[in-house]
Amino acid sequence: MDLLERILSLLSEKSPRTTSEVAELLDLSWHSAHENLLELQLSGKVNRIFIGNRHIWFLNGDDFSNLIKTSNGNGKESAKIADFLKQDQVEVVENVN
């Protein structure tokens, strides 16, 4: 199994995950994990949202896709992200840059 397949498998087990989680679980540097996740995003297999300075990754088509919509100025998307984080579905890990 190549690295991209391993990342997809990891995200299929639990999604979403931060770049740091992917790096730690696959024994990669943060940069290597990030570059491979970007490659998967460009191929349309994963999506991401930004929360603070963190990248949160999930498989394309997961229920989290509604979190990446562009805000129309009324703050609803921000509220969705806040509600999502309150559910403790995302473990926020500090960036190791």
Is pLDDT larger for residue 5 or for residue 63? 5
Chain position carrying tokens 């994990």 = 33
Kindly state the average pLDDT of the residues 11-40.
94
Is pLDDT larger for residue 61 or for residue 36? 36
Cβ neighbour number for residue 10 with a 10 Å cutoff: 17
Give 52-75 pLDDT, tens digit per residue: 788 889 888 776 545 544 444 554
Read off the tokens for 34: 């990030």
Angle at 74 between CA 73 and CA 75, to 5 degrees: 95
Q: Write down the pLDDT at residue 20.
A: 93
Residue type, 70: T
Is pLDDT larger for residue 4 or for residue 95? 4
CATH topology of domain 3-86: Arc Repressor Mutant, subunit A (1.10.10)
